[in-house]
Structure 1
Amino acid sequence: MLEFRIEKITDLPRIDLSPLLLESKEEGFRFIVRLVNDYKNGTNTFNKRGEGLYGVFNEDDDLIAIGGINIDPYSNDPQIGRLRRFYVSKAYRRKGVGRFLVNKILFDARRTFEEIVLHTDTETGALFYTSLGFKKSSGDPNTSHYLKLKI
């Protein structure tokens, strides 16, 4: 059985992102590059009320997944959070790592947000998020899925 630990990341430059960065670029995803650049220039450091950046580490302390939540920048409602910069290393997909990470983010988000939104443009991503209870969204080009946290 594989063991993982999840940590809230408060100082991204201290984390070795290079394996995830390289792998994500090879897959054609640019959001890890944006994560690094936005963090570096202060545009998004996941430090506002309810926000957070999380990493999943394996037994060797290697970062194998990352994801965060922000106040949704496309909404005027501070009760809406946006799942962002979510990536799981290919070697750890379909092993529960992504589910583990999203569930931790949602658990913490319940204290601040009423709804979580996200945007994915892959079928695999859409299937993953619907398996976690997210509903498909329509009408908003910035949101593909949403989940109500408080009823």
Structure 2
Amino acid sequence: MIEQEEKKIGEYEIRQIKKLLDLELDDLVTQSKKEGFRFVERLINDYENGTNTFSNFGEALYGVFSGDGALVAIGGLNNDPFTSKRGIGRLRRFYVLKEYRRNGIGSLLVKRMMEEARNYYRILVLRTDTQQGDDFYASIGFTKGELYPHSSHYIVL
């Protein structure tokens, strides 16, 4: 089940996902794998086996849904598992279907996740290894740098 509507942007809604496995995920998995990304598949596997269900304190999984209810983007917020320091969150498993990119949906999703992160964290980190990802996160205000373990970007909230 999905929590109540959180934000509506035009015909799109950003909602917190409470039960990932109840959603239609085939398009996200298929397209991400074609692009050489395995993290959407890992998201599902980790969720199924309970390794990461985005349900600990300060954690959440969000989706962007089109007017017809299709999931077009997804992203999660976790306590950073790569550090023992408190106050560091991590954006994980972020993916936007190709045909929905470059129209602001990804930025809106990250900004919503940052709003949530401010309630729990001082710093938000992430890892990307693509130039497109680097450009995207830099445009939102993230700084490129390896100050935090297993991360490529960070932002002080």
TM-score (norm 1): 0.95
**Does residue 124 of structure 1 match 2:132?**
yes
Over the aligned positions, Cα root-mean-square deviation in angstroms equals 1.3
Query: What are the ranges of 5 or more consecutive residues in structure 2 without an aligned counterpart?
Result: 1-8
**Does residue 69 of structure 1 match 2:77?**
yes
Per-residue CA deviations over 1:7-48 (Å, capped at 9, x if unaligned) read 100101101111111000010000001000000000000001
CA distance in 1, matches of 2:90, 2:148: 13
Identity %: 51
Query: What are the ranges of 5 or more consecutive residues in structure 1 without an aligned counterpart?
Result: none
Residue identity opposite 2:121 in structure 1: F
Contact kept in structure 1, 2:82 and 2:149, CA below 8 Å:
no
**Does residue 78 of structure 1 match 2:81?**
no
Per-residue CA deviations over 1:86-107 (Å, capped at 9, x if unaligned) read 0000000001010010010000
* Aligned partner (choices 53, 58, 68) of residue 61 of structure 2: 53
In 2 relative to 1, CA 11–104 (structure 1 residues): closer, same or farther, beyond 3 Å? same
Contact kept in structure 1, 2:125 and 2:148, CA below 8 Å:
no
Shift of 1:3: 1.7
Following superposition, which runs of at least 4 residues in structure 1 exceed 3 angstroms of deviation? none
Contact kept in structure 1, 2:82 and 2:150, CA below 8 Å:
yes
2:142 matched residue in structure 1: 134
CA distance in 2, matches of 1:101, 1:139: 24
CA distance in 1, matches of 2:82, 2:101: 29
Q: Alignment partner of 2:119: what SS?
A: coil
CA distance in 2, matches of 1:108, 1:140: 20
Shift of 1:77: 1.7
CA distance in 1, matches of 2:30, 2:98: 12
